[in-house]
Amino acid sequence: MSDTTPIQHFIRTIIDADLASGKHMGVATRFPPEPNGYLHVGHAKSICLNFGLARDYRGTCNLRFDDTNPEKESEEYALSIQEDVRWLGFEWNGSVRWASDYFQALYDYAEELIRQGKAFVCDLTPEAMREYRGTLTEKGRNSPYRDRTVEENLDLFRRMKAGEFPDGSKTLRAKIDMASPNINMRDPVIYRIKRAHHIRTGDQWCIYPMYDYTHCISDALENITHSLCTLEFEDHRPLYDWVLDNITIGCHPQQIEFSRLELHYTVTSKRKLLQLVTQGLVAGWDDPRMPTIHGMRRRGYTPEGIREFARRIGISKSVNIIDMAILEGAIREDLEAKAPRIMAVLRPLKVVLTNYEEGVTASRSAGFHSHHPEFGERDVPIGPEIWIEQDDFSETPPAGWQRLTVGGEARLRYSYVIKCDEAIKNAEGDVVELRCSIDHETLGKNPVGRKVKGVIHWLSAKHALPAEIRLYDRLFTDPEPDGHKDRDFLEFLNPESLETVQGWVESAVKDAAPETRYQFERMGYFCADRFEHTPGEKLVFNRTVGLKDTWAK
């Protein structure tokens, strides 16, 4: 892996200045996901930023669920998020926190705003409210309910809480400025009536606070110093500050925005990811083609590789569109150093070694990694029949061909030089078997008087183990599948994003645990499937990434 020294960026510069000036004595961040889906690669960037800053500055990072939208939230999602954070190598400060922990405090602060004349109960329908709000070029108009008295607003708000009014019939709105050029400041809704069962509070509440109101107060109650969010919240920062400036609270965190991650050849919209899942276009949130952390984990990506990717792409306010090759490169580099190397044959072609002699034809041992002798060795047995890759034989080889052809030679990796004497075909004219002879003088040494350049991988048919091997590729054929206004992103699904083959692997991997990673020599990096691989029984390997970027132009 490359240098893991933190890369300086504008948020670090702000933190350094805050600590130097004494504005803050330490750093407290938070990661605030909504439990309405599985986390994706964009969240991984945010996790690495928030938890990474807390680690580097010896501060704290809270994990707080934004559970203010009960209809879309579930315990499954909340548990998956906690699992993802820990798998990436981070631990949150104290116990898991929830916005719902603060529902009573949020309600009390809303009453404080009402008593100050800074919030009112509004009866406008959502349609009417949009009409009154105005546009980017036209000022909004005051709600006809804006001038209700403090007493009337308190009474109505308490009755909203008591469940006296139907869903959607009333809202509580902050009283700010309907002429503001920032539409977020045009008397935004801070509470709405919604009878929905909540995953933590059940049916205790029938009014729920809005995100913009909840988030800033939750940050302040947790004494967060730097509240980091993506650029789409930049226009919401004045509201963040307004709420905290107008309630009695002892902390005012600083909201800082950075650009979100956009990764080529995928989508990171939760709505679109959910669509892929619900329409059965992928096998679930943890499908290895999905950009979810669960999916990347199942594919065989490493936490270290993902953290290195986040480090490389950096943090800025400029548009952050990253080529998939950057992510795959970080994973490939991490695996190159740590994955044991074995041989596997994905598309087998049978080879009969016509002069194999029991007791004469010898096997050798081989190390699991040429640069890491501490990984150990295993036997690479040979037998009278072996498997090679179909692509390692050609009847009509191109110029420069260094693999097998009739009359040609190649070295078996860790073993002998063999010569192809005959190709056997079926009735359709397809080559189904090769007859080859061994040069018994070439075990561990070069043949005399001639050069053999080609080296191919192989397996003894007698000793190899059958394995289901899933060849995953990019989910979309277009670098920006959701970047076409007039076309559905599903039009760009890659029909070749998954190919399942029945191959063969070395017996050395028989007892490999799920999530064990290997380099299949000459083929790429593979990972024993997290759920369907059963050691000693059913071997299932997922292709994590190739040995090189096959998409490079």
Which of 150, 69, 66 has the alpha carbon at shortest distance from 110? 150
Which sign does the torsion angle of CA 291, 294, 299, 304 carry? positive
Distance separating the N- and C-terminal Cα atoms of the chain: 25
Q: Tell me what pLDDT residue 135 has.
A: 95
Q: Read off the tokens for 207.
A: 């009014």
pTM of this structure: 0.95
- Asked if 158 is an active-site residue, the reply is no
3-state secondary structure 319-347: CEEECHHHHHHHHHHHHHHHCCEECEECC
Q: Which residues contact 451 (CB under 8 A, 6 or more apart)?
A: none
Amino acid at site 174: A
Domains of the chain are 10-262 (3.40.50.620), 270-338+467-545 (2.40.240.10), 342-463 (2.40.240.10)
- pLDDT value of residue 552: 62
DSSP assignment string, 38-98:
--BHHHHHHHHHHHHHHHHTT-EEEEEE----GGG--HHHHHHHHHHHHHTT---SSS-EE
Q: Which helix (H) or strand (E) holds 476?
A: none
Compute CA distances 482 → 139, 266, 286, 326, whole Å. Answer: 33, 8, 21, 20
Q: Rounded CA gap, 529 and 540, in Å?
A: 6
> Hunting for tokens 């063969």 — which residue is that?
504
Among 208, 229, 183, residue whose Cα is nearest residue 71? 208
Catalytic residue, from 133, 148, 270, 311: name it: 270
Side chain identity at residue 14, one-letter code: I
Per the residue annotation, which of 72, 146, 200, 260 is the catalytic one? 260
Contacts of 543 (CB under 8 A, 6+ apart): 299, 300, 469, 470, 471, 472, 523, 524, 525, 526
List 527's β-bridge partners, or say none. 517, 542
Closest CA to 282 of 42, 475, 502: 475
Q: Which residues, given as ranges, of the chain have pLDDT below 70?
A: 1-4, 551-553
Q: Per residue in 155-189, pLDDT tens? A: 999 999 999 999 999 999 999 999 999 999 999 99
Residue 73 is predicted with a pLDDT of: 93
451 in catalytic set: no
pLDDT of amino acid 3: 53
Determine the pLDDT at residue 548. 87
Does the annotation mark 270 as catalytic? yes
DSSP track, 117-152: T-EEEE---HHHHHHHH--SSS-----TTTT--HHH
- Predicted local distance difference test score (pLDDT) of residue 1: 44
Nearest-angstrom CA–CA distance, 210 and 218: 12
CB atoms within 10 A of CB 3: 8
Name the nearest CA neighbour of 469 among 342, 325, 371.
342
Distance CA 145, CA 143 (A): 5
Please return the burial class of 473, using the count of CB atoms within 10 Å of its CB with bins 0-12, 13-18 and 19+.
middle
Number of residues assigned to the chain: 553
Closest CA to 128 of 147, 114, 141, 137: 141
DSSP letters, 246-308, are: TS--S--PEEEEEPPEEETTS---HHHHHHHHHTTSSSSTT-TTSSBHHHHHHHT--HHHHHH
